[in-house]
Amino acid sequence: MQPLTERRPVNGPMVYGFLRVAPTAAARQAALADALAEYCRSHELVLGGLFIERESGVCPRTAAFTGLLDVLALPDAYAVVLPAASQLGPRPIAAERKRQISDSTGARLLLVRGGKTARRRAKPFRERDPHSDSVQDAET
């Protein structure tokens, strides 16, 4: 692997995107694809491909997801990048897909943004009052 610099191309970790969009949501698909590409660029990851699921069924094994699992089995695959965890589908399907990704391939899941649980776990920002020894909640 080449050293990380701003002047050389990087043979960085290969990641693959996965999106679930409605068949009529071309603008949303383009926006999500751009968000994944920007995330990969800013984190020095190589986006090797984007798998788009346009079905809204209840089956965890769609053609797009099967294709994703196939490329994750390749030796240079590092992770799956998603705009949010909800892109894996409804909860039962998402749980099965997470299990298949981690158990079958050993790939990581990278989320561009966390869900509600990530916001709930975050502690509120607190700042120190310079005139006392107490800590106060910052106003937002």
pTM: 0.70
For 94, the 3-state DSSP assignment is helix
Q: How many C-beta neighbours within 10 Å does residue 49 have?
A: 13
**Gap between the terminal Cα atoms of the chain:** 44
List pLDDT tens digits, range 56-65.
666 778 899 9
For 39, the 3-state DSSP assignment is helix
User: Can you tell me the distance from the alpha carbon of 60 to that of 94, in angstroms, rounded to the nearest whole number?
Assistant: 8
Q: Which token pair is 53?
A: 């699921």
List pLDDT tens digits, range 86-116.
899 888 899 999 999 988 888 899 999 865 5
